[in-house]
Amino acid sequence: MSRVETLLAAMTLEEKIGQLNMATADRVVTGPVLPGDTEAGIRSGRIGCMLNLWGAEPARAIQRMAVEETRLGIPLLLGFDVVHGHRTIFPIPLAEAAAFDAALWERTARVAAVEAAEDGIAMTFAPMLDVTRDPRWGRIAEGPGEDPWLASRFAEAKVRGFQGDDLSAATSVAASAKHFLAYGAPTGGRDYASVDVSDRALHEVYLPPFQAALAAGCATVMPGFNDIAGIPMTAHVPLLRHWLRGQAGFDGVVVSDYNAIAELIRHGVASDLVEAAALALKAGVDIDMMSSAYARGLSTALERGLVEIGEIDAAALRVLTLKEQLGLFDDPYRRGASSATAGSYEAAARRELAREAACRAIVVLTNSGLLPLAAKSRRIAVVGPLANARAEMRGSWSAAGEPDDPVTILEGLRAALPGSEIVFAEGVAIDGEDVRGVAEAVAACRAADVIVLCLGEAAWMSGEAASRANPVLPGRQRQLAEAVLDLGKPVVALLSCGRPLIAPWLEERAGALVATWFLGSEAGNAIADVLTGRFNPTGRLPITWPRDIGQAPIFYAARSSGRPNNPKDHYTSKYLDMPVEPQFPFGHGLSYSPLALENLSVGAEKFQAGEDVLASVDVVNQGAIAGEATIFLFIRDVVASVARPLLELKGLAKITLAPGARENVRLPVPASAFAFPNAEFQPTIEPGRFELSVGLSADRTRLLTVSIEAIVD
């Protein structure tokens, strides 16, 4: 017998169930706090896991209680939402996805893991891999956007970064791929709402990122709060037990979301906690986070014959195995043994990484030539409610980051432009009706050479339980903006947000429009770096940005209708009141160096199915400064047994070019890129013509395209 099997054999039923019970500390509240004596539960072996407790000393104290004051001395599994940094806060995941840089994603996750482990944490409830195509949904901020290929690369990088090369290392934390599955497609964009998507969408859009996370060795998986066509994910046997445990072969831990097992009662599939506990356990959920359903219901479910002791044993063994993999049995105090306060060199390096990540997340949406700002001394008016909003720069899910830690936009610009006179006026609050400050802001702008207009959301307006039916600028920000724009001065408009904000009028009137998202600890410095040209912007949209919320859900990888949009034909797929095209396409983003693609080619016009293909394209920097190009590679299966999307992202390349330089870039296309799930949802490559396209965005009018033919023997 292994160590954990021997331990399991010595456990009482109550102790086994205790290993499946996750309780919360009261330091952070992420949901309804349930009553209970946590310390008594730990000492009696009825609590085996905890969340929302961090700090070296608190972690050590609670572990000592579990290890030294219980019958079997089993250490606790301590988890926390380390979503985009722990002490050092990096850009929100949606913003970080705009970097299209897997190496960067891994680096930020590694630093987050080290900082979390220094605070005694052994498990993070991240990465969030929910593909979403609806900006109404608040949790769009927490994930990598709309594309399954991109989300898959994000998944791999984050799992590698969190878990490192050795899960038992003192600097590694177990990653949790969440939220399984299709949580990002709720009805009406409302968080927690029902999901009704096709099996094809599940296999083509929502499953691939989780497959990638599992292939990367992700230790745990978290089901979503949602149901799919009436079956709540926390009790979804076909997807959790048959697909995840069976087809995908996942033998790690499945942990419920906060109170989700008890919520099976409200879903209407269980009449009480006993039935809820039985449904979740039989579906394959190992850890009950904060609903007490397992603690209060599993023993009764066993007595009623709703579950078997073997199912409880299997779940407890998986939890014990994870604890062993994390090295907790060998040394339960290894995480948190070192101080959470990094040395000055290490702390500086972490801040520098935060600044780099923030720079690479910023997307310049429009620029009439106003950016970069001239370095010569000038009077700059920095106005708007996000200009000096320090705590808001963190965004959602930054619980261990200090509110007074981030650099504000105002501070960043003042540090970057010491020779300029910079005046500040808030104008209006983020979300309020008081407009008395608008006159003061306009007065501050009248004498300015250029105005930096800082608009957007509050951090709490995106993230969990933060859906917005109409994600426009909240409060009276539009009134402030229009008063400033009416002056006729050069205006750079910045949008601090966790989602696309609907403001086509702002694009039309501002000299430059920049998506600055929520960038974390170094927000202000990074924004200043981009606005002043110290950093030539490289960010590209990981989502399609709609011109009106009536277009949602919206995404580039749509299928053709039998009557595709034709403005000259009334009976085609279009709107009567606006174009079908988005405000900005997936992949859009401007540089201070005009970049162009030329001469797309492939090695041959035909290829044998199952073979890789190599494409190449010339990239030209037509500007006067060095610039970085992000080159997207798309394919389209023109005629297939199942209609395919007009474009599917299958790869990308990055290259930095000197002024005036031209270089040839090769883009390998793996054989798997030409496959799609057939009628039985098995990968298949069919013979026939494919279109292979490259571009700087998913704007189909600007792509270079060649045709190639697959031959199948």
How far is Cα 222 from Cα 229, in angstroms, rounded to an integer?
A: 19
Task: Spell out the SS3 assignment of 645-666.
Answer: ECCEEEEEEEEEECCCCEEEEE
**Bridge pairing between strands 704-711 and 688-695:** antiparallel
Amino acid code (one letter) for 267: H
Q: Which of 212, 209, 159, 157 is nearest to 183 (CA)?
A: 209
How far is Cα 328 from Cα 572, in angstroms, rounded to an integer?
A: 62
Residue 559 per-residue DSSP state: B
Sign of the alpha-carbon dihedral angle for 354, 396, 219, 295: positive
Q: Which residues pair with 512 in a beta bridge?
A: 367, 492
**Bridge pairing between strands 627-637 and 595-602:** unpaired
Cα angle, residue 315 at apex, residues 314 and 320 outer, rounded to 5°: 95
Q: Which of 206, 119, 118, 102 is nearest to 160 (CA)?
A: 102
Sign of the alpha-carbon dihedral angle for 408, 411, 413, 415: negative
DSSP calls for 356-406: HHHHHH-EEEEESS-PSPPSS--EEEEESTTTT-TGGGG-SS-TTS-TT-S
What dihedral angle (degrees, nearest 10) is formed by the CA atoms of 517, 523, 526, 528?
A: 100
Cβ contact 492:445 at 8 Å: no
Catalytic, out of 101, 130, 134, 257:
257
Is 81 one of the annotated active-site residues of the chain?
Answer: no
Cβ contact 284:244 at 8 Å: yes
How far is Cα 700 from Cα 55, in angstroms, rounded to an integer?
A: 50
Cβ contact 90:82 at 8 Å: no
Residues with catalytic function: 257
